[in-house]
Amino acid sequence: MKLAVSILVTDYDEEETIARINETTADYLHVDVTDGSFVSQRTPQRDFLHTSKKPLNVHLMVSRPFDYISMFKELQAESITIQAELEDDLNSLLDYIHELGMKCGLALCPKTSVSAVEEYANKLDEVLILSVTPGVGGQKMIESTLDKIEELENLREKEGYQFKIFVDGGVNGETIGKIRGADAVIVGSFICKSEDYQAQIDKLGL
């Protein structure tokens, strides 16, 4: 199982947080982006993402993702995930991400069913299960959302899709054992609100 470290909640400034993540065995730097519209919170200006030695795994929790996609292309992001609940033309957005040479994904809010991604599954590289309410770090995991892992596994196997399954929200040393079948987890405050990032990563036992 791969690990993406989220910088949404941290005890350090962005520059030092990324520098600390660079020195760990994490696979990705996870970047949450909120606009104060899709969710009530708004993330601050990101000034040091270019210093990451880890590939950027970007999650856009925004109402108008098109406005952000080219910016992250310039930062050489590996992947961009948008929300399945958007009313935009998701096919066009996913195609645009691919046209720019990045992987694309769809994220499912806790109350959104797996059926929301079925129409797009043949072009997805990632499906992100949000196991907390999006936009706020440090929440307790909604364990019922983990049922979606098996549903997505079954869909992938039945239809021969290639997407990877990510889980984000409330992942820590205790809840990691409840996550079965996912390809990657996104972990934030459990790592970034500690002094020793690698020690916290080691506790996950990935």
Which residues carry out catalysis? 32, 168
In residues, how long is the chain? Answer: 206
Q: Using an 8 Å Cβ cutoff, are 168 and 145 in contact?
A: no
19 secondary structure, DSSP code: H
**Residues ≥6 apart with Cβ < 8 Å to 80:** 58, 59, 60, 65, 69, 72, 97, 102, 103, 104, 105
Q: Tell the residue number behind the tokens 């795994």, with chain if given.
A: 57
